[in-house]
Chains A and B, each alone.
Chain A
Amino acid sequence: MIAELGHLLAFLALAAAIGQSALGLTTGGEAPRRLAFACGIFSVLAMLTLIISFVQLDFSVALVAENSHTLKPLIYRIAGAWGNHEGSMLLWCMVMAGYGAAASVFMRAGPLRDKALGVQGLLTTGFFAYLLFASSPFTRLIDPPFDGGGMNPLLQDPAVALHPPALYLGYVGMSFVFSLAASGLINGQIDQEWARRTRPWALFAWSSLTVGIALGAIWAYYELGWGGWWFWDPVENASFMPWLVSAALIHSLIVTEKRGGMASWTVFLSVLTFILALLGTFLVRSGVMTSVHAFATDPTRGLVLLFGLSIAGGAALALFAWRAPTLKAGPEFDPVSREGALVLNNLFLAVAAALVLVGTVTPMILQWLGESGIISREAASISIGEPYFQLTLAPMIAMLLLFMPFAQAAPWRKAELGPLMKWLMPAAAVAVVAAIVALAMGGWGIWLGFGVLVGVWVVVGVGMDVVRRVGPGGFGRVLRLPLTVWGMAIAHIGMGLFVIGATVETATRTEQTFPLRPGEVAEMAGWTFQFQNLEEVEGPNYSALRANILVTHDGRTEVIQPETRTFQVARTSTTEVAIRKTLGGDVYVALGDQVREDPSAWRIRIAYHPLIDWVFGGAGLIAVGGFLSLVARVRRRSAAPAPETEATVESPPAPASVPA
């Protein structure tokens, strides 16, 4: 029964979405608001029924039979509901309807809300139709099996259980930002008020996307064989492109909100982000490319998605082309000003996204050309990996970071470059010293020096800006600093730490494979590892071989236990690495296989990942900063202060007037 109920609820959600779009785009008012809310409730309930089917292991539901198993632990039964194509599409629909419902609760009545709900209803309709008619998760089996096929064991992991929901909050959140942009265009009202009301949604979606990508990276890091925390895999790039463009968007929204400028560019970015999010979904689902992520691939589904992508993207761009010329240009500003710095920020981020796009789609286009016989097969089959992205993106990110402290300290409209540079000299000095130290310690690589230089420059420069904003008057004033400043500073410092961590980790990580017999000792980077013994361990749905390895460093010892797990149902095995955290980085140990020629020895992989926590911690701070900015906005709206106080908060004294 429960699956049929879910099916019915999904149809009710579809009906509500149709009504929401029709009424939202025409009459507006209370009716589309109620329908959007209903659509959200129906979708959540539909998802809930699917989760119940998974928890109860109802193998008469085809999806459960294919993806679950009696031996699977409860939490992964729940996560299994979205660990497959159909279930994840339902999750997508639910998040999409959920944004509409959230808007119906949080947004003030008016034409912006009406049309936004209308457009969001259209998108929701499209995705629910795709779900129900092309990939229904509620299909029954006439002859249910006694037990399920089991989930892919690699996905049995907490980080990857939460990775899709967070990612979808980001991806799909871009759909609502897009709806707001479309609504603004339809109403002919892209102004400061529009930007003020759009920015919280963009911030939420962007911060969620950051969390989703970071969770994926963490999982890829400790799941051996996924090439480390970032792989430049097409699917990773597919999530990175909307991230870059929406990062540009949340910055250009500031200019539109505070100064009324860059309106058409901001709207264009809203449209572009959504198109890139759809493109990402298309790349993941269609199997058009070789990717470590390409699961549940199906060319027909890909075609349907491509069709939908073309319609939505084409309509959005047409609307933009039609309406954008009517948008007013903002007030003038000097190149050296906060506006100027934010324009540069947008240029760097947009160009970086374009470079990622080129690196991602070129192999696909060449392959298609090769298959059509237009170019030779030898030239058609290429792969573009880390060297390309490192070469093209590092300069963009470096310049982005170079301008960051200036952007934070520069006043609106017009700034003096000379005093600003003089004021930031200490940050530059610290950065140069840090870069030299890093190079001396980690070998003389150009990326390493570059990364540490700009990273430290940003961390110190942003820190100086916070100190300047606090001003003289001691610690008490630190707490009174507005939340928007905290949000910005934390995100920017996170970015600096991330870049330091990423370059140091990439440039100086070491790894080695040691064949060890029980009792033997390996040494690496000042650590000793004694392979003591192996034991067999039974897990809930796997059996494991566990190695006990005695680690010694600076006179302290500890036993760590890497495992290889064999999952009987899926007939696959996974490698569970053991990680020993230290202040400077991770010691990372994986148990390999028996040496074929010498069965008493086991192959043990030992790696040292310096500053890896800075990578994930930096990404986490970026997300925290984004969420703080959002909270600041929501709080300010409910407090509704007089415009004068807001102006003083947003324009701190320029450093030119407060030297040192």
Chain B
Amino acid sequence: MRKRSQRLWLIGAAAVLVTGAVALAVVGLQGAVAFFQSPSDIAAKGPSAFTQALRVGGLIEVGSQKHEEGGKLLTFTITDGKHTVPVQFEGIPPDMVVEGKGVVAEGKFNSSGVLVADRVLAKHDENYMPKEAYDALKRASDSEGESTYKEPTT
């Protein structure tokens, strides 16, 4: 095989592959991305406006954790100091998911406006809060009036 055709073949193979990869990436980025929303964002539009998977961040409201269906489900509400979002999760959450601490829940809303989370995230450090939770609180407190929330020491 001559040198030139060898190079052409290489470039051709790379071009096909890169085109395919770009197509995959575009499809993947369109369909498989979860947007982050704060409780105030959701309150503004109503939960039914969100059909895709999303992430909600904030604090777990103190006194909101409950077990339902005899203990199969964990429910709690996420607050940003202004608005709240009810969440239900089937399973045992990470150890740092504690009332009054920062949390990020990922999932979809059901018909009654409860976020059915398939993943609940917390940090493994007691001083640290998920950035998205922190941002949600900060945004809510920046937007209007007083917030009950104080900045964490990160």
Contacts and interface: CB of A to CB of B under 8 A. Distances in A.
Given A294-B128, A362-B29, A381-B35, A590 B92 contact: yes
A592 B96 CA distance: 13
Given A332-B3, A382-B36, A347 B123 contact: no
B119 A513 contact: no
A556 interface: no
Which of B17, B65, B122 has the most CB atoms of chain A within a 10 A radius of its CB?
B17
Contacts of A378: 35, 41
Interface of A: 152, 154, 224-227, 289-290, 292, 294-295, 297, 329, 332-335, 343-344, 347-348, 351, 354-355, 358-359, 362, 378-379, 381-389, 391-392, 395-396, 414, 511, 513-515, 564, 570-575, 590, 592-593, 595-598, 601, 603, 605
Interface stretch (B18-26, B79-87, B108-116, B144-152): B18-26
Contacts of A359: 25, 28-29
A351 B92 contact: no
Interface residues of B, number: 54
17 contacts: A225-B97, A290-B130, A292-B123, A347-B14, A381-B35, A382-B33, A382-B34, A383-B33, A383-B34, A384-B32, A385-B34, A387-B32, A391-B27, A414-B1, A513-B71, A572-B126, A597-B67
Contacts of B34: 382-385
Interface in B60-89: 65-67, 70-72
Contact of B70 (A295, A396, A515): A515
Contact of B92 (A294, A355, A603): A603
A332 B1 contact: yes
Q: Report the 8 A-B pairs with minimum CB-CB distance, sorted nearest first.
A: A225-B94, A515-B71, A387-B32, A595-B71, A381-B36, A592-B92, A388-B28, A388-B32
A386 B118 CA distance: 12
Contacts of B41: 378
Given A225-B122, A383-B36, A347 B13 contact: yes
Nearest to A347: B17
A513 B32 contact: no
Contacts of A387: 28, 31-32
B49 to A, nearest CB: 12
Given A597-B71, A601-B70, A605-B92, 12 more contacts: A292-B123, A332-B6, A347-B14, A359-B25, A378-B41, A382-B35, A387-B31, A391-B24, A392-B21, A572-B95, A596-B67, A598-B67
B92 A391 contact: no
Which of B28, B71, B94 has the most CB atoms of chain A within a 10 A radius of its CB?
B71
Contacts of B24: 355, 391-392, 395
A316 to B, nearest CB: 23
B102 to A, nearest CB: 11
A360 to B, nearest CB: 12
B5 to A, nearest CB: 9
A289 B130 CA distance: 10
B33 A152 contact: no
Nearest to B91: A513
Which of A359, A383, A395 has the most CB atoms of chain B within a 10 A radius of its CB?
A383
Contacts of B55: 383
